């Protein structure tokens, strides 16, 4: 049972790993559109897709008889509120393995989507659909979220139904290691937003944002970049944060109950009558942690959540960028960010979705900081020196980002350029 702060601290401590056992987990989301009418696919089409993926060894996960996801060898495909699909990969040893996993998945997905007349869109925000045009699905928790989330953030439904991101999960070797990594990843959120911006088109028009997805997440319930995350954060302080954080929903067998009246402390004290005042177990804690939608968050690992989804040619670039810094060059990166002012970071965070590389942080623009951090990442990946079959190390995955920095042009800029020529929707689809 989870009945004390110490229980939660121990939960975080149980995630501590020896450096030699560090893993990499990548999650990425994709929009799916019917090729005939440029509309998001509905749930019956999802079922067709999932059935077709069975041929590649995927097994269905069901909720009340409805297929809501697939599983294969430690990997999961899950269904998001607007029928976006997300691959949650296995915990792997290096970027070579993680990237190979993603491309195997791409191959399978392309076979199925081609057969069923479905187009994939790899952007951070749906470039075509209005909110009321997007179909839903029978996943129970989303019914509650659709009702409750807008109460705490005006763009919460846009987040649920019209965004896609790439997430990276990383390990820590001690509480101090967690502290350093967590401070770094929160400090560089503005740089991450600018560097991976890929959501400039909204409802078939230029949005005047480079990362409209990030703008949406800044106005989403339970999200943002709390000032607490820039303090000397340890497991105890994060546990306090979790205990006093509102509950999104409670799960009782296969039923979901709104938690909007409660914080997790109420649960720990047996004060929730809707579930017979039962006490939370580790599964309940895990669920609660996964419904904290901040830019980064702690589970038994650290989850980085500030990257727009991008195309398959740059999918591995984000994970490589962060792994080079956090696994390969941690102390040097920490030295760079340790003197940054938290208020200036937050101001840059608010500006970055619109201004991109032109955003100012500590007297320099984000293009400057992107270049500096890219160099430290490259050094980190060089020091790891993990080779593929062609004897190339993980730095090869930074080539896309090097072009972005050298040309001062993001995926979002390319999208604006291509789409603005003739407003042809086909340029938005993955090739």
pLDDT tens digit sequence for 349-387: 999 999 999 999 999 999 999 999 999 999 999 999 999
Distance in angstroms (rounded) separating the CA atoms of residues 356 and 409: 10
- 350-367 burial, b at 16+ Cβ within 10 Å, e below that, comes to bbbbbbbbebebeeebbb
Q: Inform me whether the pLDDT recorded for 421 exceeds 90.
A: no
Q: How much is the pLDDT for 235?
A: 98
In angstroms, the CA 122 to CA 106 distance is: 12
**Of 211, 114, 161, 225, which Cα lies nearest the Cα of 415?**
211
**Helix residue ranges per DSSP H, 291-392:** 317-326, 330-337, 342-355, 366-384
* Residue whose pair of structure tokens reads 């019917």 in the numeric block: 34
In this structure, the strands spanning 59-63 and 118-121 are: unpaired
Residue in the block written with tokens 């019956």: 44
- Other beta carbons less than 10 A from residue 394's beta carbon: 28
Q: Tell me the CA distances in angstroms from 239 to 81, 297, 402, one per residue in order.
A: 29, 12, 38
Give the model's pLDDT for residue 422: 80
User: What distance in Å separates the CA atoms of residue 347 and residue 359, rounded to the nearest whole number?
Assistant: 9
User: What's the sign of the alpha-carbon dihedral 230, 232, 237, 239?
Assistant: positive
* 278-337 pLDDT, tens digit each: 999 999 999 999 999 999 999 999 999 999 999 988 999 999 999 999 999 999 999 999
The 10 Å Cβ neighbour count of residue 140 is: 16
SS3 track for 243-266: HCCECCEEEECCEEEECCCCEHHH
pLDDT value at residue 253: 81
| List of domains in the chain | 5-245+292-420 (3.30.590.20)
User: Would you state the structure tokens that stand for residue 214, as one six-digit string?
Assistant: 């990030």
At residue 127, φ and ψ (nearest 5 deg) are -85, -5
The answer to whether the beta carbons of residues 327 and 380 sit under 8 Å apart is yes
Q: What kind and span of H or E run contains 163?
A: none
Q: Say if strands 223-224 and 293-294 run parallel, antiparallel, or are unpaired.
A: parallel
Mean pLDDT across the stretch 257-268?
A: 97
Neighbours of 237 (CB within 10 A): 14
Q: Is the pLDDT of residue 213 over 90?
A: yes
Task: Say how far apart CA 216 and CA 429 lie, in whole Å.
Answer: 22
Torsion of CA 20, 21, 22, 27, to 10 degrees: 150
Check residue 155 and report its DSSP letter. T
Residue 416 in this model has a pLDDT that exceeds 90: yes
What pairs with residue 223 in β-bridges?
293
Tell me how long the chain is: 431
Secondary structure (3-state) at 279: coil
To 10 degrees, what angle do helices 175-187 and 330-337 make? 50
Distance CA 382, CA 158 (A): 40
| Average pLDDT of the residues of the chain | 97
- Across residues 9-17, what is the average pLDDT? 98
Bin 169: left if φ > 0, else alpha if -120 < ψ < 50, else beta: beta
User: Per-residue confidence at 125, pLDDT binned at 50, 70, 90?
Assistant: very high
Helix (H, G, I), strand (E, B) or coil at 276: coil
Q: What are the structure tokens assigned to 247, written together?
A: 């509950």
What element of type H or E holds 61? strand 59-63
Contact 397, 312 (CB under 8 A): no
What is the per-residue burial (b if ≥16 Cβ within 10 Å, else e) of 212-227?
A: bbbbbbbebbbbbbee
The pLDDT score that the predictor gives to residue 372 is: 98
3-state secondary structure of 170: strand
CB 172 within 8 A of CB 145: no
Give the residue with greater pLDDT, 425 vs 187. 187
Q: Which pair of tokens denotes residue 355?
A: 């201004």
Confidence class for position 103, pLDDT limits 50, 70, 90: very high
């Amino acid at each position: 049972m989870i009945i004390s702060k110490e229980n939660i601290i121990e939960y975080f401590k149980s995630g501590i790993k020896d450096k030699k056992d560090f893993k990499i987990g990548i999650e990425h989301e994709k929009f799916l559109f019917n090729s005939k009418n440029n509309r998001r696919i509905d749930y019956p089409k999802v079922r067709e897709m999932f059935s077709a993926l069975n041929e590649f060894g995927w097994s269905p996960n069901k909720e009340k008889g409805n297929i809501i996801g697939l599983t294969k060898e430690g990997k999961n495909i899950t269904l998001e509120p607007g029928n976006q699909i997300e691959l949650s990969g296995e915990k792997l040893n290096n970027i070579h393995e993680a990237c190979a996993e993603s491309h195997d998945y791409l191959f399978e997905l392309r076979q199925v989507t081609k057969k069923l007349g479905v187009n994939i869109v790899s952007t951070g925000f749906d470039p075509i659909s209005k909110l009321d045009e997007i179909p839903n699905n029978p996943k129970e928790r989303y019914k509650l979220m659709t009702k409750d989330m807008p109460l705490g953030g005006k763009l919460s439904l846009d987040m649920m139904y019209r965004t896609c991101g790439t997430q990276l999960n990383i390990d820590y070797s001690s509480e101090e290691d967690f502290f350093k990594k967590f401070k770094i990843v929160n400090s560089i959120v503005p740089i991450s937003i600018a560097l991976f911006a890929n959501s400039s088109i909204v409802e078939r028009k230029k949005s005047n944002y480079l990362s409209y997805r990030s703008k949406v997440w800044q106005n989403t319930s339970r999200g943002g970049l709390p000032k607490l995350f820039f303090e000397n954060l340890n497991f105890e302080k994060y546990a306090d944060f979790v205990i006093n954080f509102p509950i999104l929903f409670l799960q009782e067998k296969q039923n979901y109950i709104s938690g909007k009246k409660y914080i997790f402390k109420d649960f720990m004290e047996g004060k929730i009558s809707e579930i017979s005042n039962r006490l939370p177990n580790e599964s309940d804690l895990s669920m609660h942690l996964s419904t904290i939608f901040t830019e980064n968050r702690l589970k038994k690992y650290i989850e980085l959540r500030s990257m727009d989804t991008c195309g398959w040619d740059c999918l591995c670039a984000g994970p490589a960028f962060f792994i080079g810094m956090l696994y390969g060059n941690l102390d040097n990166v920490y030295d760079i960010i340790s003197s940054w002012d938290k208020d200036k970071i937050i101001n840059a965070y608010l500006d970055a979705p619109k201004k991109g590389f032109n955003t100012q942080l500590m007297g320099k623009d984000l293009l400057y900081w992107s270049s500096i951090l890219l160099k430290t990442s490259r050094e980190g990946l060089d020091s790891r020196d993990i080779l593929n079959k062609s004897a190339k190390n993980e730095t090869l995955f930074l080539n896309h980002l090097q072009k972005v920095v050298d040309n001062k042009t993001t995926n979002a800029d390319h999208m604006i350029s291509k789409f603005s020529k003739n407003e042809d929707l086909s340029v938005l689809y993955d090739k």
